[in-house]
């Protein structure tokens, strides 16, 4: 069970006690991400995430912060997405106050010293290079750049080396103070801790007001695609990374679970259609999968495969064949039930751990303003019909909405233009 309440400073709290665990997870998420950035400061949300670990008035450098957490065996990290940013510390229950003390200190009292900012520029630039040099990582960014062409969602979360190397400290502070304010903050607390103890620690460490709220309206994505798009990134590799993508419904849509079932049937596990037909029967790929890179208002439905160069066209033909088949022929009741049972089982396992559980609750609250428990989600999954799945397939998989991203030894689009014009949805 969980409870939702509000602190005096308007920050929301989601409290999810679990007596059966020895751990406590404190996760603070902010409803701000890279999609909220202007182009000139692209990457600043991720930059700020790094800087919160670089020293406070009480703990003036990163070594002191990490030593205090390491000596109690804490697990701690942070993450930046396109919709939100999060910071967490997980500790044994006896050390819960340490987590509150350190995380609140980082969020309220970080120094953002110029020397630390300048040193961290190099770290982030190397992180950007690391992702771009790895085709398995970079193919997703390349696809979203194609699908969300011209929109903030199409930009890399990390920004560019040029921006990171030149963004002034004043701009970083301005962005932090504009978006890191209580009304955008959700404090998640899960694990073995009583409500009186939680209330005491929240009042002690998180009652502070901070930030100068920005008047900001998040720009929704409006799909204006009228023809298929192709983007090729030249890289001398032995394996070609190919990704097909289509705009699809977001997490807040009432049909979202039907879309997840569609992705599961096509390529969500080792008994899915694409895995069987592309890998097991044809031996064309080690990795072939379908999934959803999801956002609050929109998603990218993707199909990824790693292929030998000579197998690209055949694999593409098989993928298009499966997409056309699921549009034309209703999924059988047996296959639908298998997908539903898979999703229910995976969800139950995925939220066993306190961090995953509280993260799941917070994301629901940010996305739609309400939280559904596992029993409710299970019921909604089981209510999805074959006609819903088929209609979504028809809506999503359209030739003029196709986006194709390729990483491999190609220097132009000629080969792929010919391929997508010969093999159509």
37-54 per-position pLDDT tens digit: 999 999 999 999 999 999
Which of the listed residues 205, 240, 260 is the one where a domain comes to its end? 205
Whether 298 and 188 map to the same domain: the answer is no
Check residue 210 and give its pLDDT: 64
Residues 176, 82 share a domain: yes
Residue 207: predicted pLDDT:
87
* pLDDT score for 265: 98
Using 50, 70 and 90 to split pLDDT, how confident is the model at 216? confident
**Does residue 221 fall inside a structural domain?**
no
Position 209 scores a pLDDT of 67
Task: Tell whether 223 is covered by a domain.
Answer: no
Mean pLDDT of the 360-386 span:
96
Q: Given pLDDT bands bounded at 50, 70 and 90, which one contains residue 1?
A: confident
Q: Is residue 256 domain-resident?
A: yes
Q: Is the pLDDT of residue 95 over 90?
A: yes
Query: Do 342 and 291 belong together in one domain?
Result: yes
Across 22-154, the runs of DSSP E, i.e. the strands, are: 23-30, 75-80, 85-92
| Residue at 216 is within a domain | no
Q: CA-to-CA distance for 271 and 204, rounded, in angstroms?
A: 51
**Rounded mean pLDDT, 177-196:** 95
236 shares its domain with 339 = yes
Task: Give the pLDDT band (50/70/90) at residue 361.
Answer: very high
Q: Is residue 274 part of a domain?
A: yes
Q: Residues 15-45: pLDDT tens digits?
A: 999 999 999 999 999 999 999 999 999 999 9
Per the structure, how many domains does the chain have?
A: 2
* CATH number (domain holding residue 388): 3.30.830.10
Q: Does 255 lie in the same domain as 111? A: no
Average pLDDT over residues 270-274: 98
**116 against 209, higher pLDDT:** 116
Helical H segments across 268-332, by residue range: 273-274, 312-328
Per-residue confidence band for 214, with pLDDT thresholds at 50, 70 and 90: low
Condensed to tens digits (0 to 9), the pLDDT of residues 236-252 reads 999 999 999 999 999 99
Report pLDDT digits (tens) over 217-241: 888 999 999 999 999 999 999 999 9
Of 138, 172, 205, at which residue does a domain stop? 205
Structural domain contains residue 73: yes
- Statement: residue 208 has pLDDT above 80: no
Q: What is the mean pLDDT of residues 300-308?
A: 98
Q: Specify whether the CB–CB gap between 124 and 43 falls below 8 A.
A: yes
pLDDT at 212 over 70: no
Do residues 284 and 402 both lie within one domain? yes
Could you tell me which residues come within 8 angstroms of residue 103 by beta carbon, excluding any fewer than 6 positions away? 26, 28, 87, 88, 89, 205
Q: How many CB atoms lie within 10 A of CB 294?
A: 22
Whether 421 shows a pLDDT value over 90: the answer reads yes
Q: How much is the mean pLDDT over the chain?
A: 96
User: Under 8 Å CB-to-CB from 382, ≥6 apart: which residues?
Assistant: 340, 344
Query: Are both 136 and 189 inside the same structural domain?
Result: yes
- Confidence tier at 415 by pLDDT (50, 70, 90): very high
Residues in CB range of 29: below 8 A, 6 or more apart: 84, 85, 86, 87, 185, 186, 188, 359, 362, 363, 366
Mean pLDDT of 59-82: 98
Q: What is the pLDDT of residues 128-169, one digit of tens each?
A: 999 999 999 999 999 999 999 999 999 999 999 999 999 999
Shared domain for 282 and 398, answered yes or no, is yes
Q: Residues, the chain, total?
A: 425
Residues 132, 88 contacting (CB under 8 angstroms): no
Residue 119 has pLDDT above 90, yes or no: yes
Instruction: Please report whether residue 212 resides in a domain.
Output: no
Asked if residue 236 and residue 201 are part of one domain, the reply reads no
What is the domain range of residue 260?
229-422
In this structure, are 292 and 383 located in the same domain?
Answer: yes
Residues 44 and 125 in one domain: yes
Residue ending a domain, among 205, 240, 257, is: 205
- Separation of alpha carbons 319 and 303, rounded Å: 8
Read off the pLDDT of each residue in 77-105 and give the average, rounded to a whole number. 98
Assigned token pair, 369:
């303003």
- Residue 117 shares a structural domain with residue 265: no
Examine residue 193 and state whether it is found in any structural domain, yes or no.
Answer: yes
């Amino acid at each position: 069970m969980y409870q939702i309440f509000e602190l005096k400073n308007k920050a929301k709290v989601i409290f999810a006690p679990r007596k059966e665990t020895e751990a406590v997870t404190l996760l603070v998420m902010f409803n701000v991400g890279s999609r909220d950035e202007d182009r000139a400061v692209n990457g600043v949300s991720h930059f700020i995430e790094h800087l919160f670990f670089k020293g406070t008035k009480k703990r003036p450098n990163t070594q002191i912060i990490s030593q205090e957490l390491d000596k109690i065996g804490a697990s701690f990290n942070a993450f930046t997405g396109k919709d939100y940013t999060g910071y967490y510390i997980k500790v044994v229950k006896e050390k819960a106050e340490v987590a509150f003390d350190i995380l609140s200190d980082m969020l309220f009292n970080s120094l953002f010293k110029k020397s630390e900012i300048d040193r961290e520029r190099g770290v982030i630039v190397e992180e950007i290079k690391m992702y771009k040099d790895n085709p398995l990582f970079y193919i997703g960014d390349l696809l979203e750049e194609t699908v969300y062409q011209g929109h903030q969602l199409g930009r890399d979360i990390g920004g560019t080396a040029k921006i990171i190397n030149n963004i002034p400290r004043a701009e970083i502070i301005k962005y932090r103070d504009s978006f890191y304010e209580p009304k955008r903050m959700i404090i998640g607390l899960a694990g073995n801790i009583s409500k009186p103890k939680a209330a005491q620690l929240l009042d002690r460490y998180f009652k502070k007001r901070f930030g100068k709220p920005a008047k900001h309206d998040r720009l929704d994505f409006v799909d204006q695609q009228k023809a298929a798009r192709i983007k090729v990134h030249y890289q001398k590799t032995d394996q070609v990374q190919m990704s097909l993508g289509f705009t699809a419904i977001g997490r807040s849509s009432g049909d979202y679970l039907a879309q997840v079932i569609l992705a599961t049937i096509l390529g969500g596990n080792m008994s899915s259609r694409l895995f069987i037909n592309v890998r097991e029967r044809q031996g064309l790929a080690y990795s072939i999968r379908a999934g959803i890179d999801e956002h609050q208002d929109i998603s990218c439905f993707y199909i990824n495969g790693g292929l030998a160069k000579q197998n690209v066209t055949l694999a593409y033909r098989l993928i298009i064949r499966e997409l056309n088949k699921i549009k034309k022929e209703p999924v059988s009741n047996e296959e639908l039930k298998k997908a539903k049972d898979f999703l229910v089982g995976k969800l139950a396992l995925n939220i066993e751990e306190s961090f995953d559980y509280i993260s799941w609750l917070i994301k629901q609250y940010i996305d739609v303003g309400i939280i559904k428990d596992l029993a409710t989600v299970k019921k909604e999954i089981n209510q999805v019909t074959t006609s819903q799945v088929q209609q979504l397939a028809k809506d999503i998989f359209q030739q003029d909405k196709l986006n194709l991203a390729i990483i491999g030894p190609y220097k132009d689009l000629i080969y792929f233009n010919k391929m997508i014009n010969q093999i159509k949805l």
